[in-house]
């Protein structure tokens, strides 16, 4: 019998983690994780702009994260794959890929076996 959450039964509920009377959404785990993400991307933007070679390309932290996903062993990905991995909506990912393609950093490659699929490749 399969259970959700990667095979682990969920034992804790929000009521066990937070007390209703003292719950503050600004201190919730989800909110704090979101803040960490924002701070990490801002730090990455600063590093990218400080690097002479990367700053010439004008790559943002969000674009850099997409580019990192397109290099390495499992680099053959579609826009849909990236959306799932990075929690982006399809429209935002399409616009980002368009900008990366315009900068000459990414190209779209149609799959020869299934012409409906378009894979992305770092140039």
- Residue 112: which CATH number? 1.10.10.10
Domain region containing 78: 21-122
Report pLDDT for 3.
Answer: 53
Report pLDDT for 103.
Answer: 94
Q: Is the Cβ–Cβ distance between 63 and 99 less than 8 Å?
A: yes
Residue 105, domain member (yes or no): yes
Report pLDDT for 4.
Answer: 54
20: alpha, beta or left? (left if phi > 0; alpha if psi -120 to 50)? alpha
Report pLDDT for 75.
Answer: 76
State the pTM of this model: 0.70
Residue 100, domain member (yes or no): yes
Of 80, 67, 69, nearest to 111 by C-alpha is 80
The total domain count for the chain is 1
List, for the chain, all residue ranges whose pLDDT scores fall below the cut of 50. 1
Give the max Cα distance, the chain: 59
Return the CA Rg of the chain.
19
Q: State the Cα–Cα distance between residues 114 and 66, nearest whole angstrom.
A: 24
Residue 46, domain member (yes or no): yes
Residue 2, domain member (yes or no): no
Report pLDDT for 32.
Answer: 87
Report pLDDT for 63.
Answer: 94
């Amino acid at each position: 019998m399969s259970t959700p959450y990667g095979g682990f039964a969920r034992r804790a509920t929000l009521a066990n983690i937070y007390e209703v009377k003292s719950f503050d959404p600004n201190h919730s785990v989800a909110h704090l994780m979101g803040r960490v993400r924002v701070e990490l991307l801002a730090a990455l933007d600063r590093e990218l702009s400080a690097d002479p070679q990367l700053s010439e390309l004008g790559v943002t932290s969000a674009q850099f994260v997409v580019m990192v996903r397109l290099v390495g062993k499992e680099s053959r990905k579609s826009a849909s794959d990236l959306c799932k991995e990075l929690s982006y909506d399809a429209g935002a990912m399409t616009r980002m890929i368009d900008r990366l393609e315009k900068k000459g950093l990414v190209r779209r490659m149609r799959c020869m076996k299934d012409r409906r699929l378009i894979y992305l490749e770092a140039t």
